[in-house]
Structure 1
């Protein structure tokens, strides 16, 4: 049973971490009905050019789906940044007990514990938008989650994070599916 629990732990951790956490913030003075085009101010600096292209393509697809077009002199300047950090969790498993046995055979005894360190990478994508005329920030979205080991899962995580980040974009619009 203990062995089964140890084998299931990575699966449970990966299942919990598969949904990216997203947040958005918007300038209360920004009127998004005036914006219809965008240009890239800064594309994400990622050590994997394929991941960079997937992020750019994902953001482009979301903005196009909202009716925006990419233009050399867009109404909005978009800047995307990626950061990664390593996190650790400690998993401690106990066997035996401080009080050995049940009933009349109980007595003082020593249990054992095993602690395992699980190190994983967390990736964060930050997308900032600026009014091209005033140079003022108008919107910020972030998506953060555990970086999967396989490229297929990483691509799915990128897509899920970007989709979730832009679900209620532009601000004041109805959420997707309504």
Structure 2
């Protein structure tokens, strides 16, 4: 029971990041890669690590992969399960507990004059999550593009809301893929 609850909490944490109020999306790519030649892709299972939060939650990995497939296919890329491909995709995730300290100062209005009267420090704890989508060039086996979403984790009331949030987040991350969009015939 405890193990099941633990896995559930990891899943909630990962998903929570996908719909965070404070979101940071970053992308980077190798400018020497000709992204216009990319047409087909496959999922890379060799790059998975046991410490990855998605390794501990296969249902969440499945939901994220489904969202990535949908977005890539909307952009005109074709998923292949056999044969050679132009690039492979890997998803990673992680969660960290964080602490935020806000010092409101030690001065304020103290009738009838300004002066020190104590101070206030607020401490809050939150969970920060990261979702990474990597595109690896199939010929060179090197990282060609990376999209990262970092944010504060939140919980969801139901699976449908969670899946919608995953789809929105993956779409936002992959908005910048391929990086040469204006010179490409892709959407």
The alignment's TM-score, normalised by the length of structure 2, stands at 0.69
What is the match of residue 58 of structure 1? 67
SS in 1 for 2:135: strand
Q: Which runs of 4+ in 1 moved over 4 A?
A: 92-96, 107-110, 151-157
Matched, 1:158 2:166: yes
Larger Rg: 1
SS in 1 for 2:145: strand
Aligned match for 2:57, one of 41, 48, 56: 48
Aligned match for 2:147, one of 133, 141, 163: 141
Query: Aligned partners of 1:132, 1:77: CA distance in 2, in Å?
Result: 6
Matched, 1:168 2:176: yes
1:125 deviates by 1.1
The alignment's TM-score, normalised by the length of structure 1, stands at 0.72
1:59 deviates by 0.8
Query: Aligned partners of 1:51, 1:173: CA distance in 2, in Å?
Result: 29
How many residues get paired? 154
CA RMSD of aligned residues (A): 2.8
Could you list the runs of 5+ residues in structure 2 that have no partner in the other structure? 1-19
Query: Aligned partners of 2:115, 2:31: CA distance in 1, in Å?
Result: 64
- Which structure ranks higher in relative contact order (CA pairs < 8 Å, sequence separation ≥ 6)? 2
Matched, 1:67 2:73: no
In structure 2, the CA distance between the partners of 1:18 and 1:156, relative to structure 1 (3 Å rule), is farther
1:85 deviates by 1.0
Matched, 1:132 2:159: no
In structure 2, the CA distance between the partners of 1:41 and 1:116, relative to structure 1 (3 Å rule), is same
Matched, 1:100 2:100: no
